[in-house]
Amino acid sequence: MTSSSALSPALLLPRSCRHGASSMKELQTLAPISPARLSSLLQTMKRPRRTPPSTPPTPQTIHRLHHHRRRRGEKAVSVGQSLAAETPEWVPLDLAESELSLPLTFPTGQTFRWKRTGPLRFTGAVGPHLVSLKHLEDGDVAYCVHGDRPDGAGARSALLDFLNADIRLGEIWEAFSASDPRFAELARLLRGARVLRQDPLECLVQFLCSSNNNIARITKMVDFISSLGRHLGTVEGLEFYEFPSLDRLLAVSEKDFREAGFGYRAKYIVGTVKALQSKPGGGVEWLTSLRGLDLQDAIAALCTLPGVGSKVAACVALFSLDQHHAIPVDTHVWQIATRYLLPELAGARLTPKLSSQVAEAFVSKYGKYAGWAQTMLFIAELPSQKAIIPSHCLTIQKDKKVER
């Protein structure tokens, strides 16, 4: 891994680019549920439910459905086909709740394309696959693939890659906990917070939307861009799309984006798409190749794209390019660092030099998965979680380091 002394200010970013929120208060609406609430929901799922009687479709519903399909070039289908309730086939993913907690992973600002579609259930697109994830009664995770002819094997493989399933949280948390008693307690209370491995193009465009923005507006922008892709289906009244290709994005003008409410970000998205399209071998291949670079080099390469500064670049590096020790730094992370890692800096004003020192402190403490550790510590600072954290977790030990 890259040593902490090799990290530069170019690797740092305000945490706000990660979730687009201007304050911790705004994130409260997307905050993960508490373990007590999680247990309550699991108990509720065990109770038998009454199935409500089906309601015949109205002529207006039929007309809207057929009109919607004609607009998308889809063939008309019978009423029974189009409105019959889907019965998903849930398949165990072989991931326990300690390895993947859906409420601690998806509503934390890593991606804006996954939606909550039920208690302990989230739905989103992984490439061409429309997938739902949910916690079973024992807490383990299961998935289902939606569609008329779902590619079960392909979807499972793509999903496991998206979830970074090759990285075992238990092993990482054990190493962190050995060097940090506070982290050990947090890992017990907030287990399963996982960093995703997103498609680099999808991740890049989302974080171009996040710059100096709020969650509601980011989500609206990302929904607009998503709608340019192939329609994959509807789940619980929500529409889902495959992320559009570079060619499809290239057909959208700056004016189109501005009219959709993107503001100054419109020119950066258009400029980045054009720059990617001109890359030797294609933009998608170029982005993917950055996974093989050192963190500094990956950040530098991303910053050559229009509108991509160190903040957006570091987000993309952490959430899609396997740069697990990228450390986002904003005022909230600065507060975490000065309370638990660098108390001697409390009261100082955050500067690029001090941001670099904060990043080095995290990497020195947690090693090559420092970005994952920071994710856990950040979640612990959310109001909904902070209320349940014991007071003895408010200190951190500095004398030990994670073995690398």
List 311, 353, 398, 401, catalytic entry: 311
Question: DSSP labels for 253-283?
Answer: -HHHHHHTT-TTHHHHHHHHHHHHHTSTT-H
Residues 6+ apart with CB under 8 A from 20: 109, 209, 210, 213, 214, 215, 217, 218
**Pick from 154, 188, 164: which is nearest to 174 by CA?**
188
Q: Are 238 and 117 in contact (CB under 8 A)?
A: yes
Judge contact between 243 and 202, C-beta under 8 A. yes
Residues sharing a CB contact under 8 Å with residue 201, sequence separation 6 or more, in sequence order: 243, 246, 276, 283, 284, 287
To which residue do tokens 């024992």 refer?
138
Catalytic annotation on 311? yes
Q: What number of residues does the chain have?
A: 404
Burial class from Cβ neighbours inside 10 Å (0-12, 13-18, 19+) for residue 35 reads middle
* Cross-strand pairs, 146: 130
What is the CA 187 to chain-centroid distance, rounded? 19
248-146-249 Cα angle (round to 5): 10
Burial status of residue 277 (CB atoms within 10 A of its CB: 0-12, 13-18, 19 or more): middle
Place of tokens 């408010």: 394
Distance (Å, whole) CA 171 – CA 302: 31
Provide the CB-side half-sphere exposure for 129 (13 A, CA): 20
Longest CA span, the chain: 71
Structure letter (DSSP) for residue 4: G
Active-site residues, by number, are: 311
